[in-house]
Amino acid sequence: MPNAMVTIWEIDAATGHYDIDRMISQLSTLERSRANRLRDNVNQTRFIIYHYATRAILAERLGAKPAEIEFGYGAFGKPGLSTGKSRQAIWFNLTHSDGKGLLAVSTAGEVGIDIEKMPDDLNPSALSETICSNEQIAELLQLPAELRRIAIIDCWTRKEAFVKAIGAGLQISPRDISVSLDPRKTSGAVVAPWLTGCWQYRALTVAGPYRATVSTACRTRVSNKIDLWKF
């Protein structure tokens, strides 16, 4: 597929004005059930926005209506397009953090994406012990002190995007995945001892105190801009 690539959409669930009743009417029974289990009204509303937006963006690609999109789920819960008009070579992945969502849509194969808001009280050393190997912890300590908070969040988003791309869920320890921790290296390889094939990560530029990464198979083209989704 010579024109195959990944496009990225930003979904603003924090400040936008939406018709939530109309949105929820387009969701599946499973999605509505998941939304109803969220006790916090803000999180419930954002869930509805993110999942409706995903349907709307995919529906436009497929020439369908949002309610017609059908999803299937992998062994560890990764959603994908399932049947009917959805049975086309399109892959997608959704991520969100504190009101900002990103949706990656790919015509080139599996894709994973992750966004994280920078915590005010982040302790890079403590987090590194959870997600980094000993070699990566040493790499972190070699970076200038002013880069370490960004570096550890970049490390997390790079690993999380990759895990989401391959649909592995919680089956893989992030300590077993190697990526560059240097935030100045905005793209690079993903390495793991059990990994077959070639995988890459690429940093995304998002406004505000956020860090984001998309992960794909090597040589996959990723759009240079992020489109803002509008209801």
Q: How far apart are CA 81 and CA 70, in angstroms?
A: 6
Q: What are phi and psi for residue 111, nearest 5 degrees?
A: -145, 145
Q: Give the tens place of pLDDT for each residue, 123-167.
A: 999 999 999 999 999 999 999 999 999 999 999 999 999 999 999
Contact 190, 177 (CB under 8 A): yes
Q: How far apart are CA 8 and CA 93, in angstroms?
A: 10
6-113 and 114-219: identical CATH topology: yes
CATH code of 114-219, in short, is: 3.90.470.20
Between the alpha carbon of residue 30 and those of residues 35, 64, 72, 205, the distances in Å are 9, 20, 11, 33
Q: Give the tens place of pLDDT for each residue, 45-96.
A: 999 999 999 999 999 999 999 999 999 988 888 999 985 554 568 999 999 9
The fold adopted by the segment(s) 6-113 is Ribosomal Protein L22; Chain A (3.90.470)
Checking if the pLDDT of 15 tops 90, the result is no
Q: How is 5-44 classified by DSSP, letter by letter? A: -EEEEEEE-SS----HHHHHHTS-HHHHHHHHT--SHHHH
Domain ranges for the chain: 6-113, 114-219
The pLDDT value recorded for residue 83 is: 56
pTM over 0.85: yes
Contact 216, 222 (CB under 8 A): yes
Checking if the pLDDT of 218 tops 80, the result is yes
